[in-house]
Amino acid sequence: MRNKIMTLAMVALAWVTIACQPVKAPDYITLSSDKTINAVWQAKTYDVVFTANTAWTATCSESFFSLNRTSGNDGTIALVLSVLENTADAARTGTVTIKAGDAIETITVNQDPVGETSEEQSMSVNFLAQTIKVATSAKATKAESTQDWVQVGEILDDGVVFSVTENGTGAQRSAFLSVMLGKHTIKVTLKQEPESGTLSNPKVSYLGHKAHIYDSENGYSTFGQFQLAFDSEYGKVNLVVNVNPNSTSETIDPTTVPTGLFVVDASAKYDDKTFTVAGEYATSFSINGTDYAVIDGEISIQTEGDGYKVKATLQDATEKIHVYTYTGALGTVTKDDMASVVDGTPSYSNYYTYFAGNNYIWSVTLFYSAAPSASSEYVSWVTFKLVQPAGESTEFPTGTFSYKAIDYSSASTGYVETTVGTFDLSGNTLKQDGFRVNRGALIITKADGKYTFALRSNITTYTYYDENGNYVGTPTDLKTFDWNPTTTFAIPDAGAGVMATPDTDEVIFTKSPTPDARYVGNWFGHLYGTNPEGEGGNPAWNAFYFGWTNAQEYTIYLSVNTDVAWTYEKNFSNRYCNTPVPAGTYTFSNEPGAQTLLPTKSRCYFKNNYTGTTYRINGGSITLTDTHITFNNVTGMQTSTGKVCTFKGEFDTTCYYHQDRSTNATQKAAMEIVPVQGPAQ
């Protein structure tokens, strides 16, 4: 009995224990949104809202839709379902499965097939060649353009690339683009603006006739050029216009911008109211660092109020049109020519003729005492030569002469080897560069026994040496020389100046070198060592060479060595020594010594400038004073033939203005002594 009671008690206790434990609620998912989502074919988002009493996960059965979250804790959950655009003709479907513990809920997603729909867009671009992109939500199935200047490029997953060419029509143009995504079309209206740049920062300069002088058998043409330089949005614009008083009654005012309509200078004769498209100074423009030449168009320059209105319609080499405009003040016209007009009084320097190759050669040098008409340089003298067939009148010729290369063997008439000298006063530095005419006309008239000369021409520097005396080339920079003096002067009769043939056995110098002669002076230090007797206090030797490029139509170079005390000091413009070569008599010797005239490798000779004959010095002596040189029967031998010529006479000169060549290896090599073979005559 007792055991039975204990068993019943244990059963009762177990029942009580079980009855007191809580019962677990079942897992559940309660949807607040639709179980079926019917999506349109376009890309769109939809809400998915549900409540779960435990942690949950969500998965998508297809790739054309996705959820912003795929797992989380219990509670009320709001998800975003993103459906991609359907570009296919067929509908598509899929499911979203949500699990929360043992609970499962399924949402069906249905999407319509693409429909026959369209949307419109507009785009605007500048005139430059470029690419554009029409964005899409999926890869397009097809793309088209209605114009050849817009080409379909690559079709990407997110858009279509189109290539647009540069607009060179001068007007706005339109194209219509179509991008298809199945049955949906994106229609784009594309507009491209013309190049119509607004110019800024004007700089106007007067070029004179810096580019060329046009000449022909019928005469010559002189003209004036103006350059209008601007900045544009994409680069630079240079307009070069011509004014030609030969073809109109107008005169050239270099301080005032010319007005009117300027057309292309098709004949390249710089006609009035034209603009230049070729040569060093030509109309041009640049776009993003690329330079463009101009072949046609027109430039309008008009006054407007207190300023100007400029419109340039320019056609490039590919026949594209570029339009530029400017309105406003142009500022002061700066002069970029070479002292175009010389107003000084001319004075006669030298005049002579000689007979060579059956021609008379006339040479005249004219000086001017003109004040500078430009900021730094002005023409101070001119030398020109004329060729006239022998047998004609020996009176100095008159008329209009065109430039011709010198040819003494022919019977042609023309002016040749005209050289213009300038002095540059800027920076207190004396500069004596020569400029040679390369085109133009020389006009000579005579009235009441006196002559008037007018030279209208281009000139370019014909020799240039660096500060070490090394020849560095012929610059291409052209300058304008317009010489039309009003003063007249007399020239001696021709007969008194007639010389013998250029190559003779004897030359007597009587005239100083003409101003177009370039004087050369160089010091080489103690090149040939020291005076062997220097221990007694005698100075070291000093070596020099000096000479002239046009002394009575000869080039002369002399190399000397002296034992006279002499010190190189830069006392002229801080570059040159102005101490003359020591005075005294220098006697020819094949060995260096005190007061010797030396046969150096290429610095001791006479050269006839017309025949080209060169005589290496092999005898005689020279005597120098501070202002004079005397040739004491100096002999020179033409080494190829053995022909000897004796040089005598004297002329005024000053042998100074030296440069230091004591450390210049190239120049020192030219001073190597090379004995002249053969006896002096």
Taking residues 343-362, report their average pLDDT.
46
Specify whether the CB–CB gap between 175 and 145 falls below 8 A: yes
Give the span between the Cα atoms of 542 and 624, in whole angstroms: 15
Q: Would you list the DSSP string of 23-67?
A: PPPPP-EEESS-SEEEE-SS-EEEEEEEEESS-EEEEESSTTEEE
Please give the pLDDT value at position 471: 46
Query: pLDDT tens digits for 390-445?
Result: 555 556 677 777 766 555 545 455 555 555 554 443 333 333 444 555 566 677 77
The residues spanned by each domain of the chain are: 29-111, 117-192, 196-335, 346-498, 502-670
Q: What residues have CB less than 8 Å from 22, skipping those under 6 apart?
A: none
pLDDT at position 561 over 90: yes
Please give the pLDDT value at position 262: 95
Query: pLDDT tens digits for 604-661?
Result: 999 886 667 889 999 999 999 988 899 999 899 887 788 899 999 998 887 877 888 8
Query: pLDDT tens digits for 237-272?
Result: 999 998 876 655 456 788 899 999 999 988 777 788
Give the span between the Cα atoms of 484 and 443, in whole angstroms: 9
pLDDT at position 364 over 60: yes
Q: Is the dihedral of CA 312, 313, 319, 320 positive or negative?
A: positive
What is the DSSP code (8-state) at residue 19?
H
The pTM of this model reads: 0.43
Rg (CA), the chain: 47
Please give the pLDDT value at position 143: 94
Query: What is the architecture, at CATH level 2, of domain 117-192?
Result: Sandwich (2.60)
Specify whether the CB–CB gap between 314 and 282 falls below 8 A: no
Can you tell me which residue has the tokens 């070069």? 240
Query: pLDDT tens digits for 93-111?
Result: 999 999 999 999 999 999 9
Question: Starting at the edge strand that comes first in sequence, how are the strands of the sheet with 75-83 ordered?
Answer: 29-31, 44-52, 75-83, 65-67
Q: How large a percentage of the chain has pLDDT more than 70?
A: 66
Please give the pLDDT value at position 214: 43
Give the span between the Cα atoms of 208 and 240, in whole angstroms: 11
What is the CATH number assigned to the segment(s) 29-111?
Answer: 2.60.40.10
Q: How large a percentage of the chain has pLDDT more than 90?
A: 34
Residue 590: band (very low, low, confident or very high) from pLDDT cuts 50, 70, 90: very high
Residue 230 or 418, more confident: 230
pLDDT at position 679 over 50: no
Q: What residues have CB less than 8 Å from 273, skipping those under 6 apart?
A: 241, 242, 243, 260, 261, 262, 263
Exposed e or buried b per residue across 324-348, where buried means at least 16 C-beta atoms within 10 angstroms of its C-beta: bebeeebeebebbbbbbebebebee
Residue 17 or 535, more confident: 17
Shared fold status for 29-111 and 117-192: yes
pLDDT at position 57 over 70: yes
